[in-house]
Chains A and B, each alone.
Chain A
Amino acid sequence: VKLRALRLRHVRRFGAEGAALEEIADGVNVLAAPNEVGKSTLLDALRCALFFKATSRHRDVSSLVPDPGGGQPEIEIDLDHDGGAFRLAKRFAPGGRARVSERASDRTVAEGEAVQDWLAAVLRSERRDAGPPGLLWVTQGESLAAPGDAATTLEGLLEREVGDVVGGERARAVLERARGEYERLMTPSGRQPRAGGPYATAIDRRRALDAEIAELERRTAASERTREAVAEIDARLRTLTDAEEDARLDGELAAARRVLDAARAAADRLRVRQRELEAARAEETRRATAADALAEAQRAAEATLARRASTRAAVADAAARRERAEAAEAAARETRDAARAELEAARAARERATRAAAAERAAAALDALRARLAQARAAGEERARLAAERRGIRLDEATLAALEARRDAWREAAGRARAARPTVTVHYAADAAGRVRGADGPLAADRPLTVARRTELALDGIGTLVVDPGGAKDAADAELAARDEEARLRAALAEHGVDDVAGARAQLQAAARLDARLDELARELERLAPDGLDALAAELAQAESRLADRDPDAPDPRAAEAAEAAAYTTLEAAEQRWRAALDTLHRARETAGTAAAEAALLEERTREIRAELGPEDGWPERLAAARRELEEARKARAAAAASHAEAEREAGDVPAAEAQVRRLDEALANRRAERERLARERAERLGELRATAAEGLAETLAGRVEERVFWAGREDALGHHVAALERLMEAIETAERAARERYPAPVVARLAPLVRTVLPDGEVELADDFAPARLARGERVDPLARLSGGTREQLAILSRLGFARLMAERGREIPVVLDDAIVFSDDRRIERMFDALTLAGDAVQVLVLTCRERAFARLGGRPLRLAPWPASER
């Protein structure tokens, strides 16, 4: 299709005069006009004329209607197609007109409704935004958008590149049908049977039948078990209803009962014999006890009688002994009393002798005692005198030592003073005649003379030698010190009342002598008057008082003492004898009492025995009678024991007989109960069986099994069908993918020279939908989104030009319309875009509408002018 002219009137602001683009050429056509001239109105009119019916009320059509009173939009398009030159005329109105005619002959090619069909065939599209026109037309503000639905459009187109006459569309139809079929059976995504669909229904029904069949089989098996149970019950019942067995059991029971009765009678007899035996044993025991008791009583009675006789003799003997004892005691008492008097007399004599002897001794010691008292008194007086003297001496050893130290200090100080004094020593020559003379005479040879003061020495024959020590200080100090020490010594001596240290020592020695003498006197006094002078004086006084007891007639004390001791001994012996006699008397009296009491008791006992046992002469007969009775009882017991043993031998086993009867009774009862129970169970089981049978369980099961065959078959068939559909879809999709991978080659081939025109080293890669996906420049490859707006716009336009070239080569030429489409390109690029447009224009008709007159002046191509609707056409 090539556009040759576009005319319109009564469209928006174009009134009756209208507007027209005439002589649109092959290749690039440019309408450069300022804004508001109506370029977009031209494009809108072109679209409406091509894609809307004349009667359309679409808002795009309505937008063409001018202001009220402006008339009905009229559009006329001249176009060439497939060698023919046609004119499309449309008036949009409720009763609008549309006509296609041959331009040369004005022959109507299509009219009314048929016009759109003709156009659709020519444009291969019924919609303005789809198919080739939608792909190639770029309106204002859409220049960046990738071409829409390129894949669908181009695939149809490129089918011929690889295929012949059939291909993609049929494949898609088959694929659609397969998908439709598949989705009827399966969920498209999950690959699961679609719920409620035929496949899922078949599976569900089959599963439900599986469950139902399992249940029915279970019930069938249960029913079979019930049937077997009934058969077992019948077999059991046959044995339980055996009459012979019943009779046999009854007979056994009767026999067992007889045995039991006999055993019980024997047991009763045995019990009687047992009691009899026990009675006989008791009687025997009683008799034996009685006989033994009698014998014992008789033995005891005899002993008692014997003791009674002996006791009587003992009573008489005891009385005699008591009388003898009483006499002996009285004699012993008299002897003792006599001895006691003798002792009193001896004691008085001995006291008189003792007192006389003491008086004699006191008289003898009186003089010595008096002398001792005098000595003691003399010693005491001396001691008092010496003690007073000793108290006058206060010196002690320490004081003496202190005085001696003080003296030594004085001597030392005096020595030092002497040494400080000059000395003069004369050594006379052996032959010297003269002497040196001092105030005291000649000086001894070789003896130093101390010179304490100016001293004149006469030298015989020579004159006088004056020695003057002068005022030598050291000597003076020493002299002073010696005098001080001397003064101290004298003060100390004076304090202790002595003249010199020797005096002090003598005094101390005198004190020692006094102490010794005082010790001696003390010892003397101790010896003479150990208890003191007063005691000694009292002793003397006492001795003097005893002189009154002097008795010249008094017995000898020693003899008196001996006589007293003998009297005492005699008394003690008499006293012992009397006590022994008294003890004997007490014992004799007690023995006599005891014997009398026992005799009385035995008399009483004898009376009792005789009362109980009778006279002694009858006792042997009584005992013999008791022993005879015992022998009788023994015999009776032996007879009872024999009878009991006999009964024991005869007794049967009652518990065993009872057990047998019980067992047989129970067996019979069990048999009856089991019969009844089994009969009941049989009825129950049969009831179950009948119920199952009436229900037709097996028939139901057979029906379900067959039904399952049907549904399983259906499931199987649909499963196969699903698998086939999957294979089919997969095969077609795979083939389409492979084809699609091959398709872009021709597109790229058409696009490449255009791209290189704008981007010299650029290569475009296309996506599956044929939209530009990446741009490679040398090493660098950028996805579309990373490219600048200008580049993206250029690629979008170039790809459309590429598509258009391909379509033109495939005999489907459609003009490329660019309405203010190149807006983001800079000056350098825009010129290259012009080159590309020009290059594309070799094969494709391009209609460029722009408001950028100056920029697009360099595009070249055929400039178009807006002119009024030509008069010839009006």
Chain B
Amino acid sequence: MALRFVHTGDWQLGRPFARFADDLAGRLRAARLGAVERVAAAARAHGAAHVLVAGDVWDQETPSEATLVQPLDLMARAGDLGWWLLPGNHDPARPNGLWARVAALGPPANVHLCVEPRPLALADGAWLLPAPLDRRDAAGDPTAAFDAMATPAGALRIGLAHGGVVDFAEAGEAAAVIAPERARLAGLAYLALGDWHGRLGIDARTWYAGTPEPDRFAANDPGWCLAVTLAGADAPPAVEAVRTAEFRWHGERLDLVPGAAPTAFDRLTRDPDVPASRTLARLELAGTVGLAERAQLEARLDHLGRQLAHLEWRDDALATLVEAGDLDALGDGGSLRAAGEALAARAADDPAARRALDLLYGWAVQP
């Protein structure tokens, strides 16, 4: 009989999102907590009895009481499911630490704390091999112990670990680096990994589920959990991604050219799955625009900012092309024109002068 379970991770509950406006921060926190329920729903839809959470359940080692208790309560309510929680680098299993707190609270019976590196019986004939992190900066390969972890002959061995498989020194967070061929080396039917925040298959048996609710502008396909079916030790796992995200985080670099209006804004507001009011965007504006276009661009960005849940952009890399005709709008002569020319002359080297020129143009020409 096939084993069905849901693979998730990188919940990082308790992220404050305090850099956003209060109401948005509240919504983001709520969506993050709500992901527990959406994962539970995905598990039920998949017919799975277990949810494997591959580390970073909590964002910090000392979350508030509410942050600690509320997800446990949600998991307790999903009593038909077994929740297997693994400490990651954000919530390592240090002595007298967060997991001791959880244990002291008396976690619900269906919540299993995988705080020690020893096999746990997941289901009949299926053993879970956890590789908990016990330090935030734990280095080395926490799954190395899997190779020697004994399980009954013929049992399904499922690994649960947190860390980078490839060297994502840039993108990854945990210092742990997991051998990409660990599943084969340790005879694992499936290796459930966390830390990457995005959905990513390393090989047929090795997967990152990513975070169920996006929390950053990284373009690494977050917002899913994986519904996994293991038909047997030899059969390749069937892995199906289930959408769990409420919010969309969109980061993009827009390379602009003079005379061509950007179309990316439409993509942001006309996503079929997520409305603009649940979309957060960060735009890196680059390239070159004309003086008049720049004023128009800023007006459009203002408008877009009102449509989206959040919009931030940087235009440091966006050059303004000032052509002779542009300044004509400031008159043939007079102070305005003279000021415009003086600022245009400095705009290339002095960002403040460039912004001043934008202001001058915007206020004098398009009041």
Give me the interface of A with B, judged by CB distance under 8 Å: 159, 162-168, 170-171, 173-174, 177-178, 223, 227, 230-231, 234, 686, 689-690, 692-707, 709-710, 713, 720-721, 723-728, 731-732, 734-736, 738-739
Q: Are B334 and A739 neighbours in the complex by a CB distance under 8 Å?
A: yes
Are A165's CB and B64's CB within 8 A?
A: no
Shortest beta-carbon distance, A700 to chain B, in Å?
Answer: 8
CB distance from B3 to the nearest CB of A (A): 36
The answer on a CB contact under 8 Å between A731 and B356 is yes
Is A724 in contact with B352, judged by CB distance below 8 angstroms?
yes
Give the nearest-CB partner of A697 in chain B.
B62
Extra inter-chain contacts (18) besides given A700-B64, A731-B353, CB under 8 Å:
A164-B331, A170-B334, A223-B62, A227-B95, A234-B95, A692-B62, A698-B62, A699-B64, A702-B59, A702-B60, A707-B19, A720-B351, A720-B355, A724-B355, A725-B359, A727-B355, A728-B356, A735-B342
Closest approach, in angstroms, between the C-beta of A710 and any C-beta of chain B?
A: 4
Establish whether residues A731 and B16, one from each chain, have CB atoms under 8 Å apart when the complex forms: no
Q: Which of A171, A694, A702, A721 contacts B339 (CB 8 A)?
A: A171
Specify the chain A residue showing the minimal Cβ separation from B336: A171
Chain A residue nearest to B65 (CB atoms) is A694
Q: Judging by beta carbons under 8 Å apart, are B352 and A726 in contact?
A: yes
Are B339 and A732 in contact, CB atoms less than 8 angstroms apart? yes
Q: List 16 A-B contacts (CB under 8 A).
A: A164-B331, A167-B334, A174-B339, A234-B95, A693-B62, A702-B18, A709-B19, A713-B312, A720-B351, A721-B355, A726-B352, A728-B359, A731-B339, A732-B360, A735-B335, A735-B338
Of B15, B60, B66, B334, most buried by chain A (CB within 10 Å of CB) is B334
Cα separation A367 to B238 with both chains bound (whole Å): 208
When chains A and B are docked, how far (Å) is the Cα of A707 from the Cα of B339? 38
State the CA gap A702–B312 with chains docked (Å): 21
- Proximity string of chain B (321-348) to chain A, C-beta cutoff 8 Å, 1 when within and 0 when not: 0000000001111111111101100100
Instruction: Decide: A693 and B101 in contact? CB cutoff 8 A.
Output: yes
Residue pair B351, A707 in contact (C-beta under 8 Å): no
Complex interface: chain B residues within 8 A of A707 (CB): 16, 18-19
Q: Are A168 and B96 in contact (CB under 8 A)?
A: no
- CB of A710 within 8 A of CB of B20, answer yes
* B-side contacts of A689, CB under 8 Å: 96
Inter-chain contact A724/B359, CB cutoff 8 Å: yes
Q: Which chain A residues border B61 with CB–CB below 8 Å?
A: 698
Q: Are B359 and A171 in contact (CB under 8 A)?
A: no
Known A-B contacts A174-B363, A693-B98, A698-B63; A725 and B356 likewise in contact (beta carbons under 8 Å):
yes
Chain B residue nearest to A234 in the complex (CB): B95
Tell me whether A162 and B333 are in contact (CB under 8 A).
Answer: yes
CA distance A28 to B20 in the complex (A): 74
Chain B positions within 8 Å of A168 at CB level: 334-335
How far apart sit A166 and B338, CA to CA, in the bound complex (Å)?
12
Residues on B with C-beta less than 8 A from A726 are 352, 356
A156 to chain B, nearest CB (A): 11
Closest Cβ of chain B to A232, distance in Å, is 11
Q: Is B97 an interface residue (CB 8 A)?
A: yes
Known contacts A234-B95, A728-B360, A735-B339, A699 near B14 by CB under 8 Å: yes
User: For A163, A702, A731, which residue has the most chain B Cβ atoms within 10 angstroms?
Assistant: A731
Choose one: A159, A686, A706; the contact of B19 (CB below 8 Å).
A706
Bound together, the chains give a CA A286 to CA B15 distance in angstroms of 104
In the complex, residue of chain A having the shortest beta-carbon distance to the beta carbon of B17: A706
* Inter-subunit contact B356/A703 (CB<8 Å): no
- Is B317 located at the chain interface by the 8 A CB criterion? no
Q: Is B203 an interface residue (CB 8 A)?
A: no
Residues on A with beta carbons closer than 8 Å to the beta carbon of B358: 724
Q: Are A166 and B62 in contact (CB under 8 A)?
A: no
Closest residue of chain B to A720 (Cβ to Cβ) is B355
A696 and B335 contact, CB distance less than 8 A: no
- What residues on A are CB-neighbors of B359 within 8 Å? 178, 724-725, 728
CA distance A178 to B357 in the complex (A): 12
* B residues less than 8 Å from A177 (CB atoms): 363
Q: How far is the CB of B295 from chain A (nearest CB, A)?
A: 13
Q: Given A171-B339, A728-B339, A731-B342, A699–B16 Cβ distance below 8 Å?
A: yes
Contact A163 B332 (CB under 8 A): yes
User: Of A696, A713, A735, which contacts B62 at CB under 8 A?
Assistant: A696
B63 with A696: CB separation less than 8 A:
yes
Shortest Cβ gap from A228 to chain B (Å):
10
Distance in angstroms between the alpha carbons of A463 and B59 in the assembled complex? 208
